[in-house]
Amino acid sequence: MLNKYARAFFTRVLTPFAAFLIRRGVSPDTVTLIGTAGVVAGALVFYPRGEFFWGTVVITLFVFSDLVDGNMARQLGRSSRWGAFLDSTLDRVADGAIFGGFALWYAGRGDDNVLCAVSIFCLASGQVVSYTKARGESIGLPVAVNGLVERAERLVISLVAAGFAGLHAFGVPGIQWLLPIALWIVAVGSLVTLVQRVVTVRRESAEAEAAARAGAGEVAQ
């Protein structure tokens, strides 16, 4: 749902900024690299120290590069396999840094091994969820399922919760529990999404093989 509606809204909002960067001679790949570097820095510098509010502010400023670079490529008419590959690969890097930052906090000053493990599970499951779709498509299957919690949902739930949880440092009581709740939601949602995609790939694979056998039978006749 977020991919369908939020992405369309922010694409319209960011189109003038993308056009400005094009006029300045900035390439889409440069925006992708800078955006990823900013997200990684925000996550690994602030989150392990428990500075969730400022870390989320920095990450949010850079995370929109994922929309800006694609917008620029479309305006330039230069969408390419390389650009899609770079964008997808660096998305995984950024996601890993965010949940890695949470894990480092809970492994250190946050002192909660369970939440550290949940953060690591969110990191790993997010990577696997993306892999299942990419691998399914690479063997010729449509993988026609979105799933309960995709990348947009993982980021929005985690970053919003982290940002609000960071207000605890400014004296807002009890709000720090939003982040643990969000991590559990993302972990469970990612597991459900993984199961949905595996089941879908199994079904589509069986259907494709049945269709291939039926086609071979008709040829033999």
Q: What are the residue numbers of the active site?
A: 91
Give the integer Cα–Cα distance in Å for 204 and 179. Answer: 37
Is 111 part of any known ligand binding site?
no
Burial code (b: 16+ CB inside 10 Å, e: under 16) for 95-118 equals bbbbbbbbbbbbbeebeeeebbeb
Say whether 95 counts as a known binding-site residue.
no
Q: Any binding-site annotation on 69? A: yes
Q: Which amino acid is at 173?
A: P
Sole residue written with tokens 């259907």: 207
Query: Could you tell me if 203 and 195 are in contact, meaning their C-beta atoms sit under 8 angstroms apart?
Result: no
88 is in an annotated binding site: no
Q: How far is CA 143 from the centre of its chain?
A: 18
Helix, strand, coil percentages in the chain from 3-state DSSP, rounded to 5? 85, 0, 15
Does 56 appear as a known binding residue? no
Contacts of 111 (CB under 8 A, 6+ apart): none
Query: For residue 37, what are its two tokens?
Result: 């570097």
**114 is known to lie in a ligand binding site:** no
Shortest CA distance to 88 belongs to which of 151, 34, 41? 151
Per the annotation, where are the binding residues for a CDP-1,2-diacyl-sn-glycerol? 29-32, 70, 74, 80
Per the annotation, where are the binding residues for Mg(2+)? 66, 69, 87, 91
Per the annotation, where are the binding residues? 29-32, 66, 69-70, 74, 80, 87, 91
